[in-house]
Amino acid sequence: MNTKKLASQGPQTKAIHSGEPNRYGVNGPIVTEIVRSSTFTFSNTEEMKEWAEGKNKAYIYTRYGNPTLSVAEKKIAALEGAEAAVVTASGMAAISSSLLAVLKGGDELISTAQLYGGTYRLMRDVFPNLGITVHHVPPDLCGIERLVNARTKALYVETPTNPTLRLVDIEKAVEFAKKHKLVALMDNTFATPVLQNPIALGYDMVVHSATKALAGHSDIIAGVSVGSEAWMDKVRHMIIYLGGSMDPGAAYLLIRGIKTLGVRVQRQCENAMAVATFLEKHPKVERVHYPGLKSHPDHALAKKQMRGFGSMLAFDMKGGLPVARRFCDRVQLFLLAASLGGVESLVILPIYSSHYNMSDEELKRAGVSPGTVRVSMGLEDKEDLIEDLKQALE
Ligand SMILES: Cc1ncc(COP(=O)(O)O)c(C=O)c1O
């Protein structure tokens, strides 16, 4: 593999070819092999000694690393424009291990308040027990300067936010982090590396729920953290200690999914725009949250910092929760299910999924109302999707 040549290639070429072993020559498999082994041999004790002293980077045990995992890591690092990546058992393993690679008891973290509910609950229910204080800011980062003190160590942002698709100005956020010498982390799950690359703007680490668009077929739970070699070394150690390593079978499916990421995201963006435009005109819909619509408060920012408006949207129904429930019970092509980024279009009520177990105050801060319906666009024909919405709304 010619890595120099790959560095200047487009994202779809990188998604297909980065990280793959040399596939030229007779009898070479085109598809990445799954190395199922949990453990790896050494030829002699001298090699083992060198591994223990950090003088060689041999594989020893799959929790520490594995050839199939390495292919997935190189692909995602190339797509995000980062030096390295660590694949993990889930998005939450990537998020918790990356944050714990930075924070210790007594430290403080500033995070956007609009977050995937699991990340929010980790910060609310677990971090205080470890002596880590978390401060939340709105997506426009209003009031952030007042929250910094000598104990503040990191800034964590998610954009577009889950589920109401607000945007954080990613340049403004990283400038703030640099000014105060904070480690900047970003969850890039919703946008994917196809639509925005925070590392190029100076973020130290980017995390993904690879369960979603990266893998793309709703058949694995997976995560990844990307960044410099130095940060990924720390994250890998957290994964080794806490045990959130990826299974090689999942890595195979992740690699296979990544190869079509670009075409899937492009199609999902087109479908999302068509569905958002349809919903915005529907008399039973109160409000549509999609950054591609001119009515969205962050439309101008989306045009500035994203290469497309994304595959996720949400909408509020007139009549609130009972009407939203009836809608979700009536869709036939859209499936009622959690998660996102797969080939099937999905609908979900955030108050019964990502945002369960939250007070009214927390839901308000997260921008979630009981009648909010979140939509993950799949790859079906948009005319069929719109027909299904029409019948479910009537
Ligand atoms: C934006 C975002 N980040 C992180 C996660 C957590 O990822 P996982 O479910 O793979 O642990 C999710 C899951 O829904 C998510 O939507």
Measured from the CB, is residue 310 less than 6 Å from ligand 1?
A: no
Position 158 pLDDT exceeds 60: yes
Measured from the CB, is residue 221 less than 6 Å from ligand 1?
A: yes
Helix pair angle (229-242, 91-102), 10° resolution: 110
* This model's pTM is above 0.75: yes
Would you list the domain boundaries of the chain? 3-258, 261-393
- Report the pLDDT value the prediction gives residue 106, as an integer from 0 to 100: 98
Helix pair angle (320-330, 382-393), 10° resolution: 130
Active site residues: 63, 116, 187, 212
- Report the pLDDT value the prediction gives residue 355, as an integer from 0 to 100: 84
**109 is written with which tokens?**
């973290």
Q: Which atom of ligand 1 approaches the CA of 222 most closely?
A: 10
User: Which DSSP category does 352 fall into?
Assistant: G
Measured from the CB, is residue 120 less than 6 Å from ligand 1?
A: no
CA 211 / ligand 1 centre spacing (Å): 7
User: Which DSSP category does 123 fall into?
Assistant: I
Burial 350-382 (b: 16+ CB within 10 A, else e): bbeebbeebeeebbeebbbbbbbbbbbbbbbeb
Instruction: Let me know: does 209 contact 225? Beta carbons within 8 Å.
Output: no
- Report the pLDDT value the prediction gives residue 6, as an integer from 0 to 100: 56
- Report the pLDDT value the prediction gives residue 215, as an integer from 0 to 100: 98
Measured from the CB, is residue 163 less than 6 Å from ligand 1?
A: no
- Report the pLDDT value the prediction gives residue 1, as an integer from 0 to 100: 47
Instruction: Let me know: does 224 contact 210? Beta carbons within 8 Å.
Output: yes
CATH 3.40.50.300 fits domain 3-258 = no
CA 168 / ligand 1 centre spacing (Å): 18
CA 209 / ligand 1 centre spacing (Å): 5
Measured from the CB, is residue 225 less than 6 Å from ligand 1?
A: no
User: Which DSSP category does 167 fall into?
Assistant: -
pLDDT digits (tens, 9 = 90+) for 232-254: 999 999 999 999 999 999 999 99
Q: Is 358 helix (H, G, I), strand (E, B) or coil?
A: coil
The H-assigned helical ranges of 282-351 are 299-305, 320-330
Residue nearest to atom 6 of ligand 1 (CA): 91
Measured from the CB, is residue 118 less than 6 Å from ligand 1?
A: yes
Helix (H) or strand (E) holding 267: helix 261-281
Out of 3.90.1150.10, 2.60.40.10, 3.30.70.580, 3.40.50.1460, the CATH code matching 261-393 is 3.90.1150.10
Hunting for tokens 């390295």 — which residue is that? 84
Residue nearest to atom 15 of ligand 1 (CA): 116
Measured from the CB, is residue 91 less than 6 Å from ligand 1?
A: yes
Report percent pLDDT > 90 for the chain: 89
User: Which DSSP category does 89 fall into?
Assistant: S
Half-sphere exposure of 132 (CA within 13 A, CB side): 20
- Report the pLDDT value the prediction gives residue 22, as an integer from 0 to 100: 77
Residue nearest to atom 14 of ligand 1 (CA): 339
CA 56 / ligand 1 centre spacing (Å): 34
Q: Is 290 helix (H, G, I), strand (E, B) or coil?
A: coil
Residues 6+ apart with CB under 8 A from 302: 160, 167, 291, 292, 296, 309
Residue nearest to atom 2 of ligand 1 (CA): 116
CA 342 / ligand 1 centre spacing (Å): 13
Which pLDDT band, with edges at 50, 70 and 90, does 7 fall under? Answer: low
Instruction: Let me know: does 367 contact 166? Beta carbons within 8 Å.
Output: yes
Q: Is 77 helix (H, G, I), strand (E, B) or coil?
A: helix
